[in-house]
């Protein structure tokens, strides 16, 4: 797979990776084995940018990814996230104080079975803690050799600018798809600062994907007009609608002048292979215009 510098911190990644959030969700006896097969096939295909988080499965997803990489750790660019935490009321909150940053990293390293995280993200910022404090603690992890590069997820352009002033940020991870374009308010800041963009839900949280998943009620759906345009373009190219959606995200790198590396998720090897093939699908100017006109900005959500 082709590679791209992800921002300006020296991290080079494949132009597409794998979002691991949904792996291991099944409690079937062969669930972990099937998830491991997806991870290994991703490595074989060059989609070596693997993304997880301590939130996913209460840490179980990190354990699964770490086990899958036990004999292949050096082949992967391993990314995880911290900062979204369960509350006593069963909801999700955020935490970004320096002490928690350090403890969260140690816990992730243990679950992943590794001594270094290649790209460590703040999953969502804690509004009660200055982002400078959070990123300062993350920078200490880099100095200690426990983390190689820093990223932010689900933050504003102002947050990104403040964080980057403390320590160079390699990547902004947020939703970016034909139905989720709120990130575009922050993309100019990414271009200015030399920060790469890692889009999650690039197929519209399932609405345009090869493998539909339940959609949270606050996430924009696919309009009939957009769905029709995507299907028409897919028919022209002889591909699946989800591949068109991915190709559109890839080509935003040229549109906006930033490095882009989407991380579509899947639980099936066949869909992984189709996603990887989409990285080489080129849409022409007329197709891009039609998609832009049919799509509508949506609200980003925490993944």
Catalytic residues: 56
Between CA 268 and CA 89 the distance in angstroms is: 34
Helix (H, G, I), strand (E, B) or coil at 32: helix
Find out whether 168 and 143 touch, Cβ atoms under 8 Å.
no
Between CA 270 and CA 211 the distance in angstroms is: 10
- Residue 133: CA count within 13 A, CB half-sphere: 13
- Residue 25: CA count within 13 A, CB half-sphere: 12
Of 261, 263, 194, 246, the C-alpha closest to 2 is 261
**Residue 76, phi then psi, degrees to nearest 5:** -105, 150
**What's 73's DSSP letter?**
G
Find out whether 15 and 258 touch, Cβ atoms under 8 Å.
no
Tokens 């759906």 belong to 221
Find out whether 176 and 249 touch, Cβ atoms under 8 Å.
yes
Give the pairing type, strands 147-153 and 171-175. parallel
């Amino acid at each position: 797979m082709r590679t791209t510098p992800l921002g300006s911190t020296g991290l080079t990644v494949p132009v597409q990776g794998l979002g691991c959030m949904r792996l291991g969700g099944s409690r079937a006896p062969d669930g972990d084995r099937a998830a491991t097969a997806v991870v290994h096939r991703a490595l074989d295909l060059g989609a070596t940018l693997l993304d997880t988080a301590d939130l996913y499965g209460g840490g179980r997803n990190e354990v699964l990814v770490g086990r899958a990489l036990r004999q292949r750790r050096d082949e992967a660019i391993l990314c995880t996230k911290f900062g979204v935490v369960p509350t006593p009321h069963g909801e999700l909150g955020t935490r970004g104080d320096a002490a928690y940053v350090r403890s969260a990293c140690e816990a992730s390293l243990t679950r992943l079975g590794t001594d270094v995280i290649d790209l460590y993200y703040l999953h969502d910022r804690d509004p009660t803690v200055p982002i400078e404090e959070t990123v300062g603690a993350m920078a200490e992890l880099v100095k200690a050799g426990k983390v190689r590069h820093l990223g932010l997820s689900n933050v504003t352009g102002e947050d990104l600018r403040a964080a980057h002033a403390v320590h160079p940020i390699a990547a902004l991870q947020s939703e970016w798809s034909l139905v989720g374009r709120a990130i575009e308010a922050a993309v100019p800041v990414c271009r200015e600062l030399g920060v790469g963009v890692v889009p999650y839900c690039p197929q519209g949280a399932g609405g345009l994907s090869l493998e539909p998943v339940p959609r949270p009620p606050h996430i924009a759906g696919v309009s009939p007009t957009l769905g029709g345009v995507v299907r028409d373009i897919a028919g022209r190219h002889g591909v699946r609608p989800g591949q068109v959606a991915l190709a559109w995200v890839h080509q935003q790198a040229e549109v906006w002048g930033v490095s882009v590396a989407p991380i579509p998720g899947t639980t099936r090897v066949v869909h992984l292979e189709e996603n990887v093939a989409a990285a080489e699908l080129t849409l022409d100017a007329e197709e891009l215009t039609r998609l832009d006109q049919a799509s509508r900005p949506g609200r980003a959500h925490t993944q």
